[in-house]
Amino acid sequence: MALSDEDVLEGVKQILHEAAGVPVARVRLEKTFAADLEVDSLSMYEVAMMTQERFGVDMPDEDMKSLRTVADLVAYIQRSGVSA
């Protein structure tokens, strides 16, 4: 069974909190990683690694660099066909 967008978002919130110290309440779909959530490139690397571990999504560097918002990451995970 595929995960819902809300399930994926909840996972992304936890990843951003653990990898970059972003308060879960600040993470919303429209937020940008750099400007809004102040996630630096090293933390984004950790986000990619944790995303791969949690969702089984392979995320090459060039793909990670193209993701600007939380919504971009959620959509990327969903396109990768994750399931519960």
Farthest CA pair distance, the chain: 34
Please confirm, yes or no, whether 40 is among the known catalytic residues.
yes
Q: Encoding tokens for residue 69?
A: 């918002």
The helix/strand/coil state of 32 is strand
Catalytic residue among 7, 40, 61, 63: 40
Tell me the C-alpha distance between 56 and 80, whole Å. Answer: 9
**Residue 78 identity (one-letter amino acid):** Q
Structure tokens at 10: 């909840």
Residues forming the active site: 40
